[in-house]
A and B are shown apart, each in its own frame.
Chain A
Amino acid sequence: MVGGALLIGATVAVLGGCLLLVVTVVVVRAARHSRTRRDQMLLSPLRAPLITVASGEDDDGSAAEQLTWATGVSRTVLDGNIVQLLTKIRGVPAEQLVRVLEVHGAVEAAVADLTHRSSVRRARAAQLLGLAQAGHTVPLLVEALRDESVEVRNSAAYALGLIGDAAAAGPVLAAIGLPDRGLPAATAAEALQSMGVGISEVLREGLGDENARTRMVAAHLSGQRSFTRGLPELRHLLDHDTDLTVRETCAAAIGRLGRGEDAAVLARHTLADEPLSLRRACVQALGELGDEGAVPTLAVLLDDPDPRLAELAASALIELGPEGSGALSGHEDDPAVRSARLMASLQKASA
């Protein structure tokens, strides 16, 4: 009897749940359609001036002025669209749109929203401050890098990247390795890339961080931006880091910004007792470095049992010019050399 009642109860609950979910699907879709229609309707009278401003054709500022008159829900919808546009446009149109946001009080509201209990509101607020280039909010955004929500940390780093204040580089880099609240490395790297040359010392210090992701980002950016200040640390990490990804990144960075003496540093890690991926990274870096001191090392590698390494070495020698090409003599029939020469000729022909 009890079993029967339980079975009936469970069946009713499951079928009721099914019905509820069907209703939910319908409501979610209907609500989305309705919201889209409402937004389009509210925005339609403002679309023309918005396009005029965004396309840089608002010479007398009248269209921007018209946008500042929006009120209520229309203003909210318009501000959302302006934020979207600010991710795509620069220059005077962007400044005019930021001015509209300021008149609407959106920038001021965003500062207040940085402490809102909703993580979505906090994240959007941070993004808006970045898009509005609100330099005075850098300390607040730096604080937001330690937010409990990863979306907020991401958005704060994105905003700091847009503002481009090098003073924020240290906190951004340090945020990568925060225990349990780490900033995603990709976001940090993109933000740091926008901060100009003032971050070279921060990157150099980052190469000594205890977190492998932080070291990797610092090494990668040092190479990308050709910050030679960190070269001694890059060499040290290439020799001693416990993380293979960091070592490979250091090799690539040294290849980009290294000096003649770095050929020997890279050459040490092309030896057969090193991991194959690191050896390949070092051979490519030797090619990138372009120093003739690498020729003897690369010439030896033409006989390496790994065909890719041999081909990379041959390609690097070809890139080194006559002296490098000279080292290929005696290896003309090697598949690695023939392949490297063919690839070089195809690329040259298409250039």
Chain B
Amino acid sequence: MTTPWKWLRRRRERQAEWQDELDSHLAMREEWDRAAGLPADQARLAAQRQFGNRLLTLEDVRAVHVRRWLDDLVQDARLAVRGFRKSPTLAVVASATIAVGVGASTAIFGVVDPLLFRSLPYPNDHQLVSVGYFGPVDNNEFNVVSSYLDWRREKTVFQAMTSMRPESQCDLLAGETPLRITCQSVEANFLRTLGLTPAMGRDFTRDDDQPHAPPVALISFALWQSRYGGDARVLGRSVTVDEQPVKVVGVLPKGFEMPQLGEADILTPERLDATRPRAANSSAPLRTFARLREGVSIEQARAAMLPLFRETLQLDVPKELRSEARLVVRSLRDRQIHEVKLASWMLFGAVLALLLLVCANVANILLAQAAARRRELAVRAAIGAGRGRLVRQMLTESLVLALAGGLAGCGIAWALMRALVEMAPDGLLRAGRTGVDARVLLFALAASVAAALLFGMAPALERPRAEALAGARVAGTARTLFRRLLVAAQVAISLVLLTGASLFLRSFWKLQSEPLGFRTEHVVTASFTLRQQRYRPQQAQSAFFHELEARLKSIPGGGTFALSDSIPPRGSMGRPYSNLRIAGHPPVAANGGMVDFRWVTPGYFRVMAIPIVAGRGFEEGERASGESPIVLSVTLARRLFGNENPVGQQLDLTADGHWHPIVGVAADTRNSGLTETDPEYYRLRMDNSAPPRAAVALFRTSLAPATLARWIRKEVAEVDPSLPVTVEAMEQRVGRFREQPRFVATLVALFAAFGVLLAAVGLYGVLSFLVAQQTQEIGVRMALGARPRDIAARIQAYAGVWTGVGVAAGAACSLAVTRMAKGLLFGVTPGDPLSLLAAIAVLALTAVVAAWIPSRRAARVDPMVALRYE
């Protein structure tokens, strides 16, 4: 086989040769004319004039060769189509198989491409990093204002550093109705650091970003279009954001994406105030990003930042958390997709394995067909078709098949991608960036061509033998060995897929059946967040909650009611464990991580059905009293008190000298995702307390969520008509946490099922071929006294051997591959023997079924017919 390099070199050499030939002609003509008496310079000119356009002639010569190549190609393609018309079933099955393989892999590629491969929507995105502290308080790295002010002086590894406050909601007053939108406060150099400029108007300046500068804003392209009709006069206009007038100075570029993958309707300057005391600035959180200098690696940047990090760690991070905090510098892409990276690679890997299976299957089909065509090929070789010519013909046939399949595959990919977008949980897809485009189509083409080369190579490399001319049944051992290996490989790949699928399914099933510690059925939630501006005075806030509670409680059929600031399975932000003090006890251990807490009304434990295991829950009468009681979770109680009875003890929560009586202990809940239980305590919402502005109203009710939702909205609107409320069934809320595992498990299971089907078809094909090939031999054996049972057993044993080889190889691969999926599994280890055994059992069963029909056919061979065969 010639390599592409050799081919290219030969092509160049040949072109040079054509040129040499023309040059030699010119030289001879010149010599001739000189011999006839012309002066040397005139002779050259005459020769050139006589010859005419040398380049044009060279072009014509090349065209002769190219056209010949094209003619051959067309001839091959026509031959291929004619061949397929003779055995249409084969061609349809083969291209349908390719269509599914290419379709599935293209769809998955389309989904993971924006996450894994496509560049982020910022120029030189490889230079962008996210920088910050990483600790148990947040899933992502974060920063605080005081540290950032020190860090941003670092100029050796970064071109620029920028920051934003954590995202927040705000209300835009446009006309009469307030609009709840996403506001982001960013540093003046934010867009410039990302490498972007506004689509219209100006960027923020340093002056805009001063603590008391007149308020200005950049609005998103979408907001500009939808609210202001794309009118350029929006620049300089004053809009009302959170009841404050803000001047619009610019419009963000179309399709602008925040670096942490959020949306932004409005950007305002964050106005960090370096003059505030360090203590105040160290409690204000930030997200920080930076652009690396050209040629600086992330490791170098991290090393350069370490001394600064150590310095600010001492100044800004509470003592208890220091040992758990570390410096994170990572690429923006990693920051964006860290939660879905593994899942994305897993799906992409699974679908590529499927594509490989498809190739193996089609190769098998073509090999079977080639066996039948051996005579035709031998004839063509005998009458002078070169070996290269025959290889090319076979490859062209594969290409025709693959492109037909690939075309259908694009349709499948399109449909599948639409389904995936519907199905996929938030975050696994990048909204708006998933769709069929040039890159995806190119992938489909590349996948088809690669597949064609893969499965076309096998039959193409078979050397036609002279014996085949006679029509004799040549054993062709090499080929059948290859086919058996192909089947073994198919079995191995499908075993890997199956093992993966069974792991994911088991993990998902465990996740589904894992007790949450609370009951979700018949619970309806209504969440809302009070606006900062309107409810700034604490009295306004308590008054609002007071009235709302009274109204919601009296909704007819509303059932048991409770109010909390957050609900599991998501933890609250939490506080350091080491801040807790027990009256009359030595200080608690440091490095205890974080403790979740919630502000709840007495009904909370009843609505959530969280059992009180010691002491009692809260009582309505306590809310007016001065003492603010607390309830501990079992985990926290055990950690603080061991075997001692916590009820009746006094606890200081924030080391501020306020003591709270512990009135009870509640059972644990899954409060940190579906799988983890963090220590937790509950505080009673007192009449005079100031709980967070975010709140969740809970109802344990027999009413349908939709019915209740109308009531809730009506009641909320009567207190504050501008407050948006989200009403959801608790099950729906919790279900969101299961979406990604479900998505991955469903897809991998689907791929595995298809893989097993392909392996079965492959095994069936090889065995049928074998039986057809050995009909004569079987006849002889039967004539000599072999029983049908023996014959069938022989075929089945044969199937068993090659399935066994595949299973052994597949099991080894599974153990290696599934280890990488560890982070996606819950309650199952990657080497889980049960999953592997289940996968092997499914495959073995499939193999038995696939082998049964051909072996029965073999057993039914009539010796007389078989012996007369041919």
Are A and B interaction partners?
Answer: no
Q: Which residues of B contact A (CB under 8 A)?
A: none
Q: Which residues of A contact B (CB under 8 A)?
A: none
